[in-house]
Each structure stands twice: as structure tokens, then as C-alpha cells.
Amino acid sequence: MKKSRKTTLSDLSKALNLNISTISRALNDHPKVNETTKKLIKEKAKELDYRPNPLAQGLQKQNTKTIGVIFPTFDTNFFFRVLKGIEKMMHESGYQIIISTAGESRIQEKKAIQSLSSYHVSGIIVFLSFEHEDPSFLIDIQDEGIPLLFMDRIYEEIDANYVISDDFVGMYDTVNQFISKGTKNIIHLQGNLQISTAFNRLLGYKEALLKNKISLNPDFIIPCQHQTEVKTGLRNLFSKYALEDIDLITCYNDYYAFQALEFLKENNIRIPQDIQLLGFANEPLSVYTSPKLSTINQPAEEMGVIASEMILQEIQHNQQGESYQFLTKKMSTFYLKRESTLL
Amino acid sequence: MKKSRKTTLSDLSKALNLNISTISRALNDHPKVNETTKKLIKEKAKELDYRPNPLAQGLQKQNTKTIGVIFPTFDTNFFFRVLKGIEKMMHESGYQIIISTAGESRIQEKKAIQSLSSYHVSGIIVFLSFEHEDPSFLIDIQDEGIPLLFMDRIYEEIDANYVISDDFVGMYDTVNQFISKGTKNIIHLQGNLQISTAFNRLLGYKEALLKNKISLNPDFIIPCQHQTEVKTGLRNLFSKYALEDIDLITCYNDYYAFQALEFLKENNIRIPQDIQLLGFANEPLSVYTSPKLSTINQPAEEMGVIASEMILQEIQHNQQGESYQFLTKKMSTFYLKRESTLL
DNA sequence: CTGTTAGCGCCTTCAG
DNA sequence: CTGAAGGCGCTAACAG
């Protein structure tokens, strides 16, 4: 039950009768170290299973090879897939990932980000869910030299890298396509508009109607703060409208669509014959429903990869003192027909 | 564009003309500090937005308030739910979470754990996926004073906390119950036996047959390394057996069951009238299939919570130099009838 | 109650 | 090419 300590540089230094700084240099492949001693040191290091202490390194260099990631919650699979992409890239580049979820309030969100910054992470990939009236705390973090990359949401005030999926275009194009093929009465199950993705998807829906000169029926936009409200919303709708009045239901996301699917099935409404149903996000489970859910694909994992590449780029540039030009990368979405739609 | 530095203790010290250690003590609520100066210091700290540097603290105290979590992969929703539980508890207790995925080889797995240990995390919650012939590296980490808690898998050689779901009993009880109600011919879609959960679920199946004196038909155990092999396996089975020869298909997990579901539907086999189907794990998506999947529930989020509580306990005991008695907590599973089974 | 000092493990000048 | 010394930010032991 020996509480063994990790071997440190000074352990090596003693073991080899060399100065600690020589050891340090050798291990960092400093050019001005004798090749033979370097080899000697490295061997000894391996023998004693030396592993540098990232805390000490971080304290010294003000930079740990660690990337922070902030999620609003672990609720949807989408984040999971993004994370997988991030994970892959970062580990390839030798970075650790430290994850924090922001919880349910903007105060917690702020705290989570600040806590990450105090860990001297090399950069933070941020999914923000709340509207921050005063985003200056984000700018403060950038000023401390920590690159921020925002996912899926744009802040006009903040100069940074952005990776977003094209929510607007995805919805717009798809609805447009349905209309042009004769679909008339289209519902939208709208998400929480505080969240920009919900806002943009709704916007895509509206614009597509507008473009086709279809007047907006307010009853056809059903606001749901959460997927649990979907069924009630639909019940209301159908208390006022007949089955024939509705052709297609579009949704803020796949989870909303799953709820709608259940509702329709419970009421013996056939999909897609009676009503078509369209999700958004292409969650992996959407292939398992029956009928299989048609949806709009979002390249989640790829978004993670791209985000990682971008923030790594920025980090590198900063380290070398070069200037860096921020980018906004829009990931394209596309309509994925399965069984819950006809077209 | 000022590259502002974070405010440190010595900044406060200068600003207030007080010794740095007084500042430190005041901020840590050390009893022997004058209440007025303490108040003064805290106000100044807030004013300058002082936040302690966890790297420095960690270096000093050999203990960061951080918990490492190792996952084999981000593939299944189960981990996600466990993570949610961990997340909740840890943030309540003021711990950060640092996540690492182990990747596809035992070498990477080892590296991931060691890397976490070098971060001086306060503890590590470990999902191991591979068989390690020489688990001494795990013991080394324990010797360094870092508590390890293993999830969902037991290592006889390693003294530690364990949280596992009762795979054996879950499968055993359920199959037993089906048999006692007259179900005869039961298939098991077996997972990769390297993984102990797969092994235990298979074992539960076998023992249930044994207990009821049903002889084991080797054709009825279909080994699948991965869910992608399920359909082929079933195709083979049905090339040899008729529909009437099979009453129930049990599965290593829900994903296997989803594949089986697809296969059965593709072949116009009715569920549950012709064949019943039983999953394992109660993945959230299992309610969205049709028919809805009957499964064996695993309390994923709760497992995360319990694991967190246990490792936090151990950490606390260690810090106070008390002795600590390791526990093995078995989370109970239960049969959850939905629509894909009759009983 | 407060100040002084040393050190956690590492890197980086500056000398030699 | 190698050694000595200082410091990153913080805490803890020892004085006063």
C-alpha cells in the first residue's frame, strides 16, 4: 500500500547526477543538448515512467493542452455526436477535453465558462443556450488570450470563430420544395425562440411560405417550449381543424417529431398517407421509428471536427504571434427522405 | 484589445497593502483573520474579479477538484445518461469533470487513464471496455492516491469501489418468468463476450434455461460482435428453423433488438404475435419503435449519481486520513413490458 | 491576528 | 553544451 509518488524532473536529476534543467531541456528536445546525454535521459525517463505534470506545465506556460467544451445540457444526442467529432480531433492533436454543462440558468452558464477559463484551457468551444444581455464576460475571456469558438449561434457583438449549421436554409429549402410539389397546409411545431436554432428554423418555414405567397395561418405555428408540450399543441390544433386541413407537420427537431408521431399514431392518423411528418437534426434514433422519420440532416460529428480544426488553428496562430482572421463556417443541411413523408 | 491578466493574490496584496498570505487566508475563511479585514479583502476580491487559479492550487495541494471520467466511446446513449447523473452530482459538490474516451485499443485506454492521473484529478470513474491482462497500471494509480471507481464491470484483482447493474439477475429473472408462463423456444442474441455485461447477460439466459431443465440448443445462441451482425445471424437462424420454432428473442442490448426488429419487419414477421422481442437497457429511443420495445431497465442516470456519491465519499475519507471500506453497489434492473412482448 | 519563508513541478533566462 | 537561479500562483508552517 505504498503511496508512491509520481517521478518528477528532480527525481531524474538525482538519478542521473545531472542538473534538472538539462533534464527538462532534453525531454523537450531542446537542440543544444548532447545527443548521447539526451538519449540517456530519455531512457531513464521511460524507465522511471516519468510523465510531466500538466499542472506545473500549465502554471508555468499559462497554457495547458486542454480544450474546454460547454454544453447546455446532455439531453440530446446531437451534442453527443458533436462531442465525438471534437474528441476525435483533439485527441489526435494531443489535447485533453474538459467538459462542463451550463445548467439551466445564464448565471450558471457564465460561471461554467469562467471556471473553464481559470483552468487556463487553450481554448473553449461554446454552445450557449441563453441570451446574454451583457456578453462582456465573454470578451473578457478572449482578452485573457483564450480563444472562444461558438457553435450553432451567432453573436454579432463578438468577434470569434463560429460553426453553425444552416438551420434557416435547411428548413427554407425543404419547405419550399414541398410547396412546389403541391403541399399546401403546413404546420410548424416551433421550439423555444430564445434558442437561435429554433428561431432560424421557424424563420426558414415562414420565408418559404412567404416566397410562395402563401399567407401565414397563425394557428399553424404551434409554439412549444419543450417537446412535452407537443401533444397538447396538436390536440388543440385538431380540435379546430380537420385531418384534411393539414398536409405536413414540420418540427423544430426530431424529438418534437417523435412526440408528434406518437400523437398521430395514438389517434390512428396514418403517416404519411393522412399527414406527413418531418423532423430536424437526423438523430440516430430517427431510423428506428416506424414509419422511419424523414428529417433534415445536420452533420453533427463533422461540426465537431471542423470546430476543433478551427480553434486549433487559432491557438497555433496566437502562439506564434501571427494574426488570425476569424471565420464563420456554415455547415450545410439537407433533406433526408425516409418514410414519414411522400416527396 | 488589452491582453488583460487575471488578478492574482499578489495583485490584491498590493492593492490593499496586506501580506499575500493574509489575503489567501481571508479568502479561504481561515478562522484567525480579523473579520473586518476579511470583509475588506473579500470586497476587493470581488471588485477585481479575483478567481483562484486552480492550476496553482492543484500543484500545491496535489489535488484539483476535478473528477476524471473514462468512457470507451460515445456511441451509446447509456453512457450519456450515466454522464448526466455524474454531472449533476459533481457540479453540486463543486467538482469539474474531465472526460476522456478510451478509443479502440487497450493501449489508448491505458494512456487515457494515465493522462487523467497526471492531471491530479481527485478521482476517476472508469468504464473499461477491454480485457487487460496486466492491470497493474491501475493499481499504480491507486497507489498514487487517486481513487478509482469502476462501472459496470468487476476486476477481481482490484480493490476498489464498483457500481454495476445487475445484468445477470435482470436477464435471469426475466427469462425465468417467461419460461414459467409457458414460453418455450428462446433465442439469445449474444454480444461481445469480452465485455462483461454481455457475458453476464448471456449467463443469465443460460442459467434460467438450466434451472427450468430446458436443454440448451446451441443454435439458439447467436453470437454477434456488433449490432451489424444481427441480421445475418437471424437470417442463418431462419434458414434452419421455422417461425413456429421460435417464441422469443432476447438480446444483449436494445440496439441489437432494434436490428432484430427491423429484420422481423422486413420479413413480415409480426411482433409480438409471431415472435416476441426483448431488449436490454431501456434506451430512451426504445419507446419510439413500433411496436414499442419491451426491455430490461437499467437505471443509467442513477448509476452515475451513485457512482459520484461513492467516489466523493472515498475522496473525503482519504483526505481526512480515515480508513475507507470499498463497496460494490449493484443497481437493480427490472423487466419493462411494452408492446414487443406478450407477458 | 499578520508577516516571512519555503516549496509544489516545471521552464527559461542568464552565466559559465 | 550544462549549471544556477528565479518565478508561475498558491498554501502552509513557522515566527512574531
| Residue whose entry in the numeric block shows the C-alpha cell 403517416 | A271
Measured between alpha carbons, how far is A250 from A275 in angstroms, rounded to an integer? 11
B285 or A27: whose pLDDT is higher?
A27
Query: How high is the pLDDT of residue B174?
Result: 98
Question: What would the mean pLDDT of A87-108 be, rounded to a whole number?
Answer: 82
**By three-state DSSP, how is residue A140 classified?**
helix
Of A331-335, B76-80, B192-196, the poorest mean pLDDT is in B76-80
From A74's Cα to the closest Cα of chain B, the distance in A is 6
For A291-303, letters b (16+ CB in 10 Å) and e give bebbbbbbbbbeb
Angle formed by the axes of helices A9-16 and A35-47, nearest 10°: 120
Residues of chain A in contact with residue B115, where contact means CB-CB under 8 angstroms, are 51, 96
Contact present, B127 and B70 (Cβ < 8 Å): yes
Query: How high is the pLDDT of residue A249?
Result: 98
How many whole angstroms from its chain centre is CA A336? 21
Query: How high is the pLDDT of residue B3?
Result: 52
The DSSP string of A329-341 is: EEEP-EEE--SS-
Number of inter-chain CB pairs under 8 A, A vs B:
112
Give the residue on A whose Cα is nearest the Cα of B256. A288
Residue A62 φ/ψ region, left for φ over 0, alpha for ψ in the -120 to 50 degree band, beta for the rest: left
List the grid coordinates of A108. Answer: 450558471
Q: Please give the order of strands across the beta sheet that includes B248-251.
A: B221-223, B186-190, B248-251, B276-278
Identify which of B26, B143, B129 has the alpha carbon closest to the alpha carbon of residue B78: B129
| Residue whose entry in the numeric block shows the C-alpha cell 442513477 | B302
Measured between alpha carbons, how far is A273 from A271 in angstroms, rounded to an integer? 5
Residues of chain B in contact with residue A145, where contact means CB-CB under 8 angstroms, are 3
Residues of chain B in contact with residue A64, where contact means CB-CB under 8 angstroms, are 55
> What's the 3-state SS for chain B?
CCCCCCCCHHHHHHHHCCCHHHHHHHHCCCCCCCHHHHHHHHHHHHHCCCCCCHHHHHHHHCCCCEEEEEECCCCCHHHHHHHHHHHHHHHHCCCEEEEEECCCCHHHHHHHHHHHHHCCCCEEEECCCCCCCCCHHHHHHHHCCCCEEEECCCCCCCCCEEEEECHHHHHHHHHHHHHHCCCCCEEEEECCCCCHHHHHHHHHHHHHHHHCCCCCCHHHEEECCCHHHHHHHHHHHHHHCCHHHCCEEEECCHHHHHHHHHHHHHCCCCCCCCCEEECCECCHHHHCCCCCCEEEECCHHHHHHHHHHHHHHHHHHHHCCCCCCCCEEEECCEEECCCCCCC
List the single protein residue with the shortest CA to C1' distance from D2.
A22
| pLDDT of A148 above 90 | yes
| pLDDT of A251 above 50 | yes
A158 or B80: whose pLDDT is higher?
A158
| pLDDT of B104 above 70 | no
The Å distance, CA of B118 to C1' of D3, is 28
In this predicted model, what pLDDT tens digit does every residue of A166-180 receive, in sequence order?
999 999 999 999 999
List the single protein residue with the shortest CA to C1' distance from C2.
B22
Residues in a beta bridge with B278: B250, B294
| pLDDT of B2 above 60 | no
Measured between alpha carbons, how far is B73 from B129 in angstroms, rounded to an integer? 9
In this predicted model, what pLDDT tens digit does every residue of A175-223 receive, in sequence order?
999 999 999 999 999 999 988 889 999 999 999 999 999 999 999 999 9
What stretch of H or E contains A70? strand A66-71
| Residue whose entry in the numeric block shows the C-alpha cell 455524474 | B86
Measured between alpha carbons, how far is B59 from A237 in angstroms, rounded to an integer? 61
Measured between alpha carbons, how far is B69 from B97 in angstroms, rounded to an integer? 7
Protein-proximal positions, strand C, CB < 7 A: 1-5, 7-13
Query: How high is the pLDDT of residue B115?
Result: 83
Query: How high is the pLDDT of residue A1?
Result: 36
Residues of chain B in contact with residue A1, where contact means CB-CB under 8 angstroms, are 143
pLDDT classification of B1: cutoffs 50, 70, 90: very low
Query: How high is the pLDDT of residue A2?
Result: 42
Query: How high is the pLDDT of residue A4?
Result: 62
Of A310-324, B44-58, B96-110, B222-236, the poorest mean pLDDT is in B96-110
In this predicted model, what pLDDT tens digit does every residue of A69-94 receive, in sequence order?
988 776 677 888 898 899 889 988 88
Domains of chain A: 9-47 (no CATH), 65-165+300-331 (3.40.50.2300), 167-298 (3.40.50.2300)
Give the residue on A whose Cα is nearest the Cα of B56. A59
Range among A4-18, B280-294, B297-311 with highest mean pLDDT value:
B297-311
List the single protein residue with the shortest CA to C1' distance from D5.
A21
Measured between alpha carbons, how far is A106 from A130 in angstroms, rounded to an integer? 6
Which nucleotide is closest to the Cα of B55 by its C1'? D9
Cβ contact A52–B118 (<8 Å): yes
In this predicted model, what pLDDT tens digit does every residue of A54-70 receive, in sequence order?
889 888 887 888 899 98
Query: How high is the pLDDT of residue B6?
Result: 82
Q: Cβ atoms within 10 A of the Cβ of B11, count?
A: 17
| pLDDT of A40 above 60 | yes
Residue A227 carries which DSSP code?
G
Identify which of B286, B64, B308 has the alpha carbon closest to the alpha carbon of residue B163: B308
Q: Mean pLDDT, chain B, as a whole number?
A: 89
For A217-250, letters b (16+ CB in 10 Å) and e give eeebbbebeebeebbebbeebbeeeeeebbbbbb
Identify which of B253, B67, B83, B283 has the alpha carbon closest to the alpha carbon of residue A79: B83
From A53's Cα to the closest Cα of chain B, the distance in A is 6
Residue B120 φ/ψ region, left for φ over 0, alpha for ψ in the -120 to 50 degree band, beta for the rest: left
Identify which of B318, B163, B59 has the alpha carbon closest to the alpha carbon of residue A64: B59
Protein-proximal positions, strand D, CB < 7 A: 1-5, 7-13
Which nucleotide is closest to the Cα of A50 by its C1'? C9
Measured between alpha carbons, how far is A151 from A67 in angstroms, rounded to an integer? 14
User: What are the backbone dihedrals phi and psi of residue B278, each rounded to the nearest 5 degrees, phi first?
Assistant: -130, 125
Identify which of A244, A199, A243 has the alpha carbon closest to the alpha carbon of residue A221: A199
